[in-house]
Amino acid sequence: MPGFPPATPSCLLGVLLPLAACVSESQETGTPAAESHTVVTFNTGTSEGLPHDAEPDDGYTSVQADLSDAWYGDGLAWNAALEDARAFLAAVDPVIVAFQEIFYTGDCAAIPEEAREGFVCDGWTEGAPTVAQRVLGDGWQVACHQGKPDKCAAVRSDFGRFIGCEEDFCLEGLTGPEVDGCGSGARVARGDIAQTDGRRLTLVNVHGSSGVGSEEQACRLAQFQRAFEDLVDPDPGARNLVLGDFNTDPGRWAGFDPSAAYLADQGAEGARLHFLTAVGEDVEPTYQGLANIDHVLSDALDGSCLPAGAGDLPSVSDRVYFDHVPMVCTVR
């Protein structure tokens, strides 16, 4: 990909082994290389269209899939899948995670008892940790989008804290505009991280509207314009990280989807930002065997990304549950 150098072999291990950071030496100069960290974007949702009744039976069938769709918005809410996600994140050891479609347990009060068995609302009590908190464990700060508690970002406390978010969980800690006619709440939102090393990082979490029709494309275009033109810090010295589920493929669909074309332009050669994820018609698809819609871009951060299960990276789960593959990135 244009815009960033290949990761050094030792720092590539940052996505292959559980670690907080790696520091390598340049083979050419012998000087220390930039510190490297792992960043993940993870749409944790599921869908009814997967072969949930296939053998072997993993306990999550079309019956549970119907309940998930009816009551949980198909966000991560099945306890066994939650544990798989927790183990995966512990293995790759990130400092930043962006979530899309992660169920908010504050909605459990409205879910009937008959729709709770096996799900996170079974035995839920007011004030219990959210799904995002359970998946991450201790030592993290979680902030969610305004009006969209199923979209959140998290930063490990030893790496930084969200500015303006004083608690470990801020329900509307990420700010962003609502796009008229494209649903309620902020599908793109920004949080500024004060890193423990004194630097500042602007994080923009994106979850573009799904669908291939002209209305969905127009909504995505408007959302992306907000993300890159209103939420990305324009200061020349700023450090921006834009990541998430864009619900379009900038490498394959730019010819017929204006939102894909706009996204492709944001990371094109000569643009301010560059893709850390691979983009192109020949890239192995990570979504439904058809496309690459989960992406990471930055201006000041270099690095590269791999999908879960690639190389030596673990897969998230053997269950028929998740319909996205998280992207795991080494950045520096």
123: region left, alpha or beta (phi > 0 left; psi from -120 to 50 alpha): left
What is the pLDDT confidence band of residue 67, given thresholds at 50, 70 and 90? very high
Question: Which stretch of DSSP H or E encloses residue 65?
Answer: helix 62-71
pLDDT band, very low/low/confident/very high, at 155 (cuts 50, 70, 90)? very high
Q: Please tell me what DSSP assigns to residue 238.
A: -
Q: Which element (helix H / strand E) includes 10? A: helix 9-12
The tens digit of pLDDT for each residue in 14-53 reads 333 333 344 344 444 454 456 899 999 999 999 999 999 9
Concatenate the DSSP letters of all residues of 125-151 into one string: -TTPPPHHHHHH-SSEEEEEETTEEEE
Q: Please tell me the distance from the alpha carbon of residue 280 to that of residue 97, in angstroms, as a whole number.
A: 24
By C-alpha distance, which of 71, 197, 78, 211 is closest to 135? Answer: 78
At 314, the amino acid letter reads P
Structural contact between residues 153 and 203, judged by C-beta atoms closer than 8 angstroms: yes
Q: Domain extents for the chain?
A: 37-331
Would you tell me how many other CB atoms lie within 10 Å of the CB of residue 61? 13
* pLDDT score for 232: 98
Do residues 315 and 324 lie in contact, with contact meaning Cβ atoms separated by under 8 Å? Answer: no
Mean pLDDT across the chain? 91
- pLDDT of 10 reads 33
Q: Give residue 30's pLDDT.
A: 52
Per-residue pLDDT tens for 100-118? 999 999 999 999 999 999 9
pLDDT grade for 220, boundaries at 50, 70 and 90 = very high
Summarised one tens digit per residue, pLDDT across range 242-290 is 999 999 999 999 999 999 999 999 999 999 999 999 999 999 999 999 9
Under 8 Å between Cβ of 82 and 134: yes
The predicted structure's pLDDT at residue 277: 98
Identify the band that residue 316 occupies on the pLDDT scale cut at 50, 70 and 90: very high
pLDDT band at 69 (very low <50, low <70, confident <90, very high): very high
H-helix or E-strand spanning residue 192: strand 188-195
pLDDT number for residue 33: 55
The CATH class, in words, for 37-331 is: alpha beta
Give the whole-angstrom CA distance, residue 263 versus residue 277.
13
Six token digits for residue 9: 């072999």
